[in-house]
Chains A and B, each alone.
Chain A
Amino acid sequence: MRSPLLPVLPALAVLALLFYGALALSAARSLGIPPAPGLDFPSLAPWRLVLSDPAVWRSAGLSLWISAVSTALSAMLAFGVAVLIRQAPAGRPVLGFLLRLNLTVPHLVGAAGMLFLWAQSGLAARVALAAGLIDGPAAFPALIWDPWALGIVLVYVWKEAPFIALILLAQSGPADAAREDTARTLGASRLQVIRHVTLPSLLPGLAAASAIVFAFTFGAYEVPLLLGASDPVALPVLAWQRFTDPDLAARPQAMALALLVALLSAAAILVHLGAVRRLRAW
């Protein structure tokens, strides 16, 4: 009797090698185990160096800030967009197209657009100058390369809010619409319907999608690389700097940093799975 697992095995084998194998190799390297089996004992030195380095904590803090704010804002905005699209039939095809267009835009393209738009000498600043609101680039708020990573958050909210919104829209069905209609006919106001019917039904999907967004924005590299300040840098950027440092001694530290990111993503996965389980219960 052929095991039902058989067709899954080739894919699993590929992932086992490319993903789990890579993680295992990172773990080994972060413990000082060299590629060629030598007489070096595993060493905790890279981890000790990483965990005692204030630059690492500052970078980790920055990445956490970026992902927390991006996820929260994206989730709230996505909820609003989902409600809007479901309740406002006019313009839905156009909005649907724009949302899906947004999904296909690579993150770097979005980052480039934000750079051109929100730099202190960017398009928005020039409009403000023409409108007499500012008198020079320095008067425009610093959104790019700024210590609060506002430009980075803007890019992620711009990309991830539609992502979450489309998931929410895909998961809500006629049953939800029926429930909302029932509530309306029972006399509930629009706001009450949203708060007591729509929100609870969308919440599991929201949580599940948000966990994915959190993990993604915590570990993303290219947007902070382009729009981030020079110090501190986001954790993935710091990891890459250590990885490409000509001083090979920094490499095990880079591996440790990579694993730190993996661990946090694992936590996000658990949250996601928990939310999905609740969603299935609905």
Chain B
Amino acid sequence: MRAGRLAAWVLGIWLVLPLVPVVIWTAARGWRFPDLLPADWSGRAMAQALSPSSGVPQALFTGTALALAVTAIALALGIPAGRALGLARFRGKRAVEVAILAPLIVPPVAYVFGLQALFLRLGLAPSAAGVALAHLVPVLPYVILVMAAVFAGHDTRLEEEARSLGASPAQVFVLVTLPAVGPSAAVAALLAFLVSWGQYLPTLAIGGGRVATPPLALYAYISSGRHDIAAAIAVLSLLPGLAVIWLTRRAFPRALPVPP
């Protein structure tokens, strides 16, 4: 038990450790070797990060809008697809599942070049709409597979009873199906939001530098040596994740897969 306690502590510290200097940098004005703590404290980094001239507020807005749009499209397409895959049996179902799994596992670098070429011809690159579609590639399969798992454990008898009592398909969906799978769908939606929120290469390739999201802003500031502003962006990037954890705190389903 003592070894287990120690291991738990080590694990906890290890999980938090990289975030410590990030948080310190957000309030630092100059933090050079060999100082353990910044020579000067200042709220300037966060202030600069939040001012429009840094491009960060725009990036936060764009990232949020993109993630919301992508999640909504993924839900609209993915819930019916997930339901069909979860409940129905048909020939070639396995093949369909694999076809949907592939975009989830294949890394973005494999398809964004071709996607950029395709979107250039369609006039979708560089554009935010194009970036939203690019984000669909990892997000849509994720929603489909999660909803398929949820529906696989779903009892359709309630719906059948409602139908037999005269309810229309729409009524059945809203009054019976949605309350049953809605919470899991919401959790899936929140995690899907995070997948889009953290995307880097698709946004860079399809956005052509015109579409700025927090990961792109973060990289720009780290690679130009402004660790304090980069840290401020990093902390701001963590907020949606914290919100998701809080919103799902009581309902983290056991069988719900999570993005890598």
Q: Do chains A and B touch in the complex (CB under 8 A)?
A: yes
Considering the complex, which residues of chain B in the window 26-85 have a beta carbon less than 8 Å from any beta carbon of chain A?
A: 32-36, 77-78, 80-81, 83-85
- Residue pair B107, A15 in contact (C-beta under 8 Å): no
- Residue pair A221, B200 in contact (C-beta under 8 Å): yes
Q: Does A183 contact B (CB under 8 A)?
A: no
Contacts of A122 in B (CB 8 A): 21
**Residues of B within 8 Å of A, CB-based: how many?**
92
Considering the complex, which residues of chain A in the window 40-63 have a beta carbon less than 8 Å from any beta carbon of chain B?
A: none
Contacts of B106 in A (CB 8 A): 19, 215, 219, 261-262, 265-266, 269
- Residue pair A7, B197 in contact (C-beta under 8 Å): no
Residue of A nearest to B1 (CB): A88
- Residue pair B258, A103 in contact (C-beta under 8 Å): yes
Contacts of A133 in B (CB 8 A): none
Contacts of B102 in A (CB 8 A): 19, 266, 269
- Residue pair B215, A163 in contact (C-beta under 8 Å): no
- Residue pair B7, A11 in contact (C-beta under 8 Å): no
Q: Does A150 contact B (CB under 8 A)?
A: no
Residue of A nearest to B94 (CB): A273
Nearest CB in chain A: distance from B211 CB, A: 16
Q: Does B16 contact A (CB under 8 A)?
A: yes
Q: Does B180 contact A (CB under 8 A)?
A: no
- Total A-B contacts with CB atoms under 8 angstroms apart: 288
Q: Does A66 contact B (CB under 8 A)?
A: no
Q: Does B150 contact A (CB under 8 A)?
A: no
Q: Does B188 contact A (CB under 8 A)?
A: no
* Contact partner, A100, options B16, B214, B245, Cβ 8 Å: B245
Check A167/B12 contact, CB under 8 A, given A22-B115, A125-B33: no
Tell me the interface secondary structure of chain A in the complex: helix
Residue of B nearest to A84 (CB): B7
Contacts of A169 in B (CB 8 A): 254
Nearest CB in chain A: distance from B115 CB, A: 4
- Residue pair A84, B107 in contact (C-beta under 8 Å): no
Q: Does A65 contact B (CB under 8 A)?
A: no
* Contact partner, B109, options A109, A127, A158, A240, Cβ 8 Å: A240
Task: List 7 tightest A-B contacts by C-beta distance, closest first.
Answer: A219-B107, A104-B241, A113-B18, A26-B114, A116-B21, A4-B88, A22-B114
A-B contact pairs, 26 of them (CB 8 A): A12-B96, A14-B77, A18-B111, A18-B115, A19-B102, A22-B112, A88-B1, A88-B4, A88-B7, A90-B5, A96-B252, A99-B15, A100-B252, A104-B245, A107-B200, A117-B20, A129-B33, A173-B254, A212-B260, A216-B260, A225-B219, A226-B222, A236-B201, A259-B110, A261-B106, A261-B110
- 10 further interface pairs, Cβ-Cβ under 8 Å (given A117-B18, A158-B14): A19-B102, A84-B4, A88-B4, A94-B12, A106-B237, A109-B218, A123-B36, A222-B215, A254-B113, A265-B107
